[in-house]
Structure 1
Amino acid sequence: MDWPGRTPNTLSKGGKTPVTVFTGFVGVGKTTIILSLLQSMPKGYKFCLLKNEFGDVKVDSQIAKLSNIDVQEMTNGCLCCVLVGQMKEGLLELKEKYNPDRIIIETSGSAFPGPIAWQIRELADEGFALDSILNVVDCRNFDGYADNSYTAQLQAKYTDLVLLTKHEGVSERDLDRVIDRVNDLNTDAPKVFVHVNQPVSPELIFGLDTKLFELQGAMAPNNKTFQEELDQHGNKSHHKNELDTMDIKCFSDKSCVTDHLSLDKFEKFLATLDKEEVYRLKGFVRLSGIKEADSETTSISVCVVNHAFGKWTIIPVPEKQDLVDERTDSPAHDHDYGHDNHHHNHPHTPSRKSKDQVLQLHFILMGELWSIKHKLIYGCGAEYPGGSVLCEFKASRETVEWDKPLPGTYNEFVAEQMASK
């Protein structure tokens, strides 16, 4: 069988590496679908993942390593605006280093696909061909996030194929309403249900040869009418208007060997996060109470946590023995492209973390976070009486630090913080 994008097929198209773009709101299941493709690929077929995400917590890089996928993460910005000009570097590096049969781009949750598609089409002479733009829709939560995100509506409108996830357990009436709403946005694109533990067929999503966002025509970058439509709906400030992002770090004294958050207590904390406020949580946490393989023995381990709309997974990562404070303890990652003056970037406020403290937790949250700032700080830091909590609201460049023992109750914590201002 001639798999689309495999070497003979690629050579017949002038030797260009096909690129598939996945769009979709935060937490809808894009990464899960991409990783599941490994189960359907023929032996010898190689694809690379160019992953775009908010913040600098490289969760998906770690997960992809466990799946033997070559991955590159572009962080602290969005491919459709801040990083669109730097995407070329990432694509060229992947092609030169790995010579893949295909490159898959996973956009951030609020990325408009147009600028990404235009950039890929402009790289035709560099050996790339835009194959398809796919949109992932979460059937359980689409109504909620589509109401708050015009970009999510644009993602569903401008796509070759809509992949419907998390439909299990959704009533027939609610499912019909979601599909009707997606059809209102995009009548022509096929809608396909993605089932749990059943990978999407590569034959379905590869080899589509999309006509979307060509460099000339109705959706071209120089089409004034098209650009005015996007700008009219706030596309220029879509991230600021649609999604709050917060980075949380917790430190404890190195001498306090008991300052480890337990798996049980951390899961109780995750259960308190309202899915209407916290769309996504992802990061690394050092947890006690982790069962070792084929044993009832428990240990302390660094874990990957992935939380989306009230559901979560926690995966131990044995090889990641220690967490580091990227800002103060380690050089920039090879693929952490340069900061520029944009609201996604970290405010470079010096942390009061001392050399005697160790990073125990580092994750990023996305959602409507303004009203729950204090609750999140208290909930995350409650297990570290000797530590500090550093929180960042990237959109507002606000930094909140707490480096005193936490009070006994949440109300006392809020009162003390207000008194210290």
Structure 2
Amino acid sequence: MQTRTPITVITGPLGSGKTTLLRHIIDTVSRKIAILMNEFGEISIDAKIIQGKNVEMADLGGGCVCCSLVGEFEAAVNEIIDTVDPDHIVVETTGVAEPDALAFDIQESLPNVRLDGVVTLIDADAMVKYPSVGHTMRMQIEAADTLILNKVDLVSESELNAIAQKLHSLNAVASILHTQRGKVDTDLLFGITRERVEAQPHHVHQPEFESFSYTSSATFDRQCFEEFADTLAGADVYRAKGFIRFPEGIYLFNFVAGRWDFEPFEQEGTELVFIGKQVSQRKEEILGRLNLCEQ
């Protein structure tokens, strides 16, 4: 009897730390892992962050993996198994994906794999700033076998306890792991051996967010860009990510829920993705202010 390849689904809201967790997994797990990534936005920023690591990847860009890319997902999984034969497959869904349909698809349509578990990341700081749990986030929490409460260093102990209680009220079965920058014991993520049978979902996916992208070969003034980043929340941007070129080099830029940071990164030029509710209506305004930072 052929052994089925275990597959772990990593999900969670925009900016919760999914790609950061993937980087930690790649750096610490010795097994052969294949990664499938489904991004929100025209430019595959997350895939470029992971590239260069000793890992096989398939990029499922351009939509929600729970709906429009189900067929492509199945084909990608089968191709990876045929060509790479990994010990484990990890799927990172877009932040607007509802993982129940994906779990059902794995269960019903991929007999050569088994769903090992669904891991959902939650941004503790964002939960404090935006305490309302929307439909998609609720689905992500309810689907989880393991909940990773990330960025716990950014909230108080009382806030952390309140968040944990809220998560437990939505999913009383999943274990809750507290972490900073996705640094969790990977032995707690794999080997879950999910026992739940997934019922066929009947949701109609209605994306809450939209995005636009920006590329440039210009060099940007760092102080001007930092001031620009401080204004993004007021421009209806919930999430922004990508690479920005300053005189001293290129940096990975991460913005979520009004908080942002830089990390030195080897990349060819400036590529940015902006995500938010009705954010396309502010595109000209946002890019106009960004262009003022060109040197």
TM-score by length of structure 2 reads 0.89
Structure-1 residue corresponding to 2:214 = 248
Of structures 1 and 2, the one scoring higher in RCO (CA 8 A, sep 6+) is 2
Unaligned runs of 5+ in 1: 1-12, 252-258, 291-300, 324-360, 386-421
Residues 15 and 209 (structure 1), Cα distance of their counterparts in 2 relative to 1, 3 Å cut: same
Give the C-alpha shift of residue 384 in structure 1: 4.9
Secondary structure of the structure 2 residue equivalent to 1:78: coil
Q: Is the 8 A contact 1:50 1:73 kept in 2?
A: yes
Secondary structure of the structure 2 residue equivalent to 1:49: strand
Secondary structure of the structure 1 residue equivalent to 2:65: coil
Structure-2 residue corresponding to 1:56 = 42
Q: Is the 8 A contact 2:225 2:293 kept in 1?
A: no
Q: Distance in 2 between the 1:78 and 1:28 partners?
A: 17
Matched, 1:279 2:228: no
Residues 124 and 250 (structure 1), Cα distance of their counterparts in 2 relative to 1, 3 Å cut: closer
**After the TM superposition, which residues 190-339 of structure 1 pair with which residues of structure 2 at under 5 Å, given as runs?**
190-196=175-181, 199-212=183-196, 214=197, 219-221=198-200, 227=202, 231=203, 236-239=204-207, 242-250=208-216, 259-274=218-233, 277-285=236-244, 287-290=245-248, 301-309=249-257, 310-318=259-267, 320=268
Q: Distance in 2 between the 1:192 and 1:263 partners?
A: 36
RMSD over aligned Cα atoms: 2.5
TM-score by length of structure 1 reads 0.64
Percent of aligned pairs sharing the same letter? 26
Q: Distance in 2 between the 1:35 and 1:165 partners?
A: 14
Give the C-alpha shift of residue 202 in structure 1: 2.6
**After the TM superposition, which residues 7-406 of structure 1 pair with which residues of structure 2 at under 5 Å, given as runs?**
14-42=2-30, 45-125=31-111, 127-145=112-130, 147=132, 149-196=134-181, 199-212=183-196, 214=197, 219-221=198-200, 227=202, 231=203, 236-239=204-207, 242-250=208-216, 259-274=218-233, 277-285=236-244, 287-290=245-248, 301-309=249-257, 310-318=259-267, 320=268, 361-370=270-279, 372-384=282-294
Q: Is the 8 A contact 1:40 1:201 kept in 2?
A: no
Give the C-alpha shift of residue 375 in structure 1: 3.2
Unaligned runs of 5+ in 2: none
Q: Is the 8 A contact 1:23 1:136 kept in 2?
A: yes
**What letter matches 2:233 in structure 1?**
D
**What letter matches 1:153 in structure 2?**
R
Q: Distance in 1 between the 2:161 and 2:224 partners?
A: 38
Deviations 1:54-100 (A, max 9, x none): 12312222221243322222111110011112101111222223221
Give the C-alpha shift of residue 220 in structure 1: 1.7
Residues 143 and 188 (structure 1), Cα distance of their counterparts in 2 relative to 1, 3 Å cut: same
